[in-house]
Structure formats: C-alpha cells, structure tokens
Amino acid sequence: MPKTKKTRGAKKKSTLLTAKNTHRHALYQSAVQEPEADTRFMEERFCEKFGKSPILLREDFCGTGFLSATWVKEKAHRRAVGYDLDQPTVEWGLENNISPLSAEEKARIELRIADVLEAPLDPVDVVCAMNFSWWIFKDRDQLLNYFRSVRKSLPDEGMFVLDIYGGSEAYIEVEEEHEKELDGEDFYYIWDQDKVCGISDELLCYIHFRFKDGSAMKKAFTYDWRRYGMKESQDLLREAGFDTVEVYWEGSDEDGDGDGEFSLETHAENSEAWIAYLVATP
C-alpha cells in the first residue's frame, strides 16, 4: 500500500534477506505498518473527545494482529479484539505477534477468524479499519451496511477510525519501490497499483518484494478494491448514523512527502498522493 514507514532502525548484523528465508507477513509488517503511530493517534483523539483513555479496541481486518498486539503491550488497562477472515494470516499472527506476549498481555487480546460483518455488536471504545481494508466492499450498500454495523457497536463515547488515500496517482496505474529494513537487513517493497478502472473505480493492486540477492516475491499480497472518494466516504459514514465525521490530513515535509503528522482539516490542497484518517463518532 502507499502508506510506508519513514523510520529506519539501527543496523544490526544479520543474515542477508532472500525470498526463501523470510516470510511475507514479516516483510509486510516492517514495510507497511507503523502500529505505534496508529495507537498514538487513536489514544490522542479519544482523550481529546471524551476526556478519558480508551480501553477496548476492535481491530477490523486485523491481519496478523500487529496493531492489536501493540495496543495491549503499550498500556496495562487496554484490551483488543481483532477480526480477520484469513485463517493462515491470523495463525501467523498468533505465532509471531501474540505468542511472544506475556501471559497477562495474552489475557487481554483475542484474534478471531471471522468476517467483520459478523462481529458481535458488543460495545467497544474504538473500532478501526486500517490500511484501506474497507475498500474490499465494492458495492456502496455493502459498505454502508458495514459502517452501520460499526455504528451499532459504538456507545455514545465511542470512535471509529479508518484511513483513506487519494490524489491524482490514485486514478492511474503506478508502481513505486521503496527500500525498507527488517532486522537490520535491507529489502525492497514495491506497491503496484496495476489496474485502475475509470468507470467502476475498481483497483487491482499488488505488493511485491525484491531482495539484494536478486530473488523476489512477486504478488506477495493482492488487493481487489473499489476506491472511495473522500467526500463520498464522509457522506456514507453520516448516512450510517455517525453524527460527526472529521478528517485528519497528513502534513508534508520539505520534499513534499507525507511527514506522518495528521491535523484536523476541513480544506486541503489536492496532491499526487495523500493519506488521511477519518474519525467518526456517534
């Protein structure tokens, strides 16, 4: 996905990464996810709105549960439940993200192999849907149905956080490569927005990985999505029953790249590529 981490850790001596000796989920987590930034964002917004810390996070489309694991590790009062349809992905997450947690942390987290549409409507403080996962719903009514179900599981003091990307590059086929690092070893992450339909707004995207030994993991991840526009997404959230929908827009550095800082905005200049958080409250 276009969201990529800027930070690079200190180098430590390790084995050269190759397509054979590493796992696609480890590469994905390292290249794409920055769970500490998401948890900080959710904590800050919730505290601002409700004057208290959020406790229970429902992570929809949780994948390997990296974000949920980070959520419970960071603060002892927090709990998390993640939902993802894909059994092998969740199993990898259980082994690699949940197993290393302490017994006390494990008692505060659960990953469930299930459709987000079947998540029970038990009240939670925060529901999140990150890395544009909600674009899986290609039909407007399906997405509205999902947003409505999230709305039903939020109490008055509850919050739904989702991310969205756009800009002129979201409308065309693009392939971009970034150098990344896993355990001190470099690899290349390739975001391939392979097919973009001008009529249906459908996108077919892949993540590939390339390594210094010349090996590669082609189509390590596939995303068959519909792109939703910024305004229509806000309208859909309101239609689903959210009273307030706010946009937190990413600032840019001197090179014009995203700086990882998100501020509440009502107007923003369009660009080639932007990322924002939508924050919806009942």
Ligand X SMILES: C[S@@+](CC[C@H](N)C(=O)[O-])C[C@H]1O[C@@H](n2cnc3c(N)ncnc32)[C@H](O)[C@@H]1O
The distance of closest approach from Cβ of residue 186 to ligand X in the complex, given in angstroms and rounded to an integer, is 21
Q: Is 32 in the site for ligand X (CB under 6 A)?
A: yes
Q: Is 281 in the site for ligand X (CB under 6 A)?
A: no
Q: Is 85 in the site for ligand X (CB under 6 A)?
A: yes
Q: Is 83 in the site for ligand X (CB under 6 A)?
A: yes
Helix (H, G, I), strand (E, B) or coil at 274: strand
Question: Contacts with ligand X: how many residues (CB under 6 A)?
Answer: 16
Q: Is 63 in the site for ligand X (CB under 6 A)?
A: yes
66 contacts 93 by C-beta, under 8 angstroms:
yes
* Terminal C-alpha separation, the chain: 29
What number of helices (H) and strands (E) belong to the chain? 7, 12
Q: Rounded distance, CA 79 to CA 111, Å?
A: 11
Q: Which two tokens stand for residue 14?
A: 């390790």
Region of 21 please: left (phi>0), alpha (psi -120 to 50) or beta. alpha
Q: Using the rule CB under 6 A, which residue among 30, 70, 89, 193 binds ligand X?
A: 89
Q: Is 233 in the site for ligand X (CB under 6 A)?
A: no
Q: Is 84 in the site for ligand X (CB under 6 A)?
A: yes
For the segment 96-155, give every residue that binds ligand X (CB under 6 A): 115-116, 130-131, 133, 136
Cα 249 to the center of its chain, rounded Å: 15
* Nearer CB in complex with ligand X: 5/79: 5
Residue numbers at the binding site for ligand X (CB under 6 A): 32-33, 61-63, 83-86, 89, 115-116, 130-131, 133, 136
